[in-house]
């Protein structure tokens, strides 16, 4: 077998450079999920940097599968009930021993990040739910 890397991946989210395509996609997914569920616009470089560092640590240093990391964030976001102020990571097993996540939670609590309310209307891609026979 003869392999050759033609071009190394380089991407940016909120001016934060990311050189791993899987981590880039994961960060993009997590931020989209947060923006939608918390109705905020995330452009804060410090928040993005902290998130990139946390996900990179979990994937590269702790060898966690990226899917488990994303599932953990999905669970934390869902559990926050629409408010980023309620976002907690401390009791999610996938996130044990990741101190940078606790720092993110503390920085959110202490308003260290600029997370603005979104002015964009929420768009749902799911079909409208029909009324059940009992509701008619």
pTM of the model: 0.80
> Measured between alpha carbons, how far is 72 from 114 in angstroms, rounded to an integer?
23
Question: Please, which residues bridge with residue 11 across strands?
Answer: 18
CB 49 within 8 A of CB 13: no
Query: Would you write out the chain's pLDDT as a tens digit for each of its 136 residues?
Result: 766 766 788 999 999 999 999 999 999 999 999 999 999 999 999 999 999 999 999 999 989 999 999 999 999 999 999 999 999 887 777 787 788 888 898 999 999 998 888 665 555 444 444 444 444 4
Contacting residues for 6 by C-beta, under 8 A, at least 6 apart: none
Taking each helix axis from N to C end, the angle separating 99-109 and 45-56, rounded to the nearest 10 degrees, works out to: 160
Q: What is the pLDDT of residue 18?
A: 95
CB 35 within 8 A of CB 42: yes
Q: What is the pLDDT of residue 121?
A: 52
Q: What is the pLDDT of residue 90?
A: 79
Q: What is the pLDDT of residue 124?
A: 46
């Amino acid at each position: 077998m003869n392999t050759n890397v033609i071009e190394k991946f380089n991407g940016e989210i909120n001016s934060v450079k990311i050189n791993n395509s899987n981590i880039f996609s994961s960060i993009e997914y997590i931020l989209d999920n947060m923006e939608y569920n918390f109705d905020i616009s995330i452009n804060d470089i410090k928040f993005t940097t902290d998130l990139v560092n946390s996900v990179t640590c979990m994937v590269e240093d702790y060898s966690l599968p990226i899917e488990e990391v994303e599932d953990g964030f999905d669970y934390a976001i869902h559990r926050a009930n629409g408010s980023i102020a309620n976002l907690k990571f401390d009791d999610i097993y996938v996130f044990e021993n990741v101190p940078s996540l606790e720092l993110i939670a503390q920085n959110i609590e202490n308003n260290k990040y600029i997370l603005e309310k979104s002015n964009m209307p929420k768009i749902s891609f799911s079909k409208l739910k029909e009324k059940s026979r009992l509701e008619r």
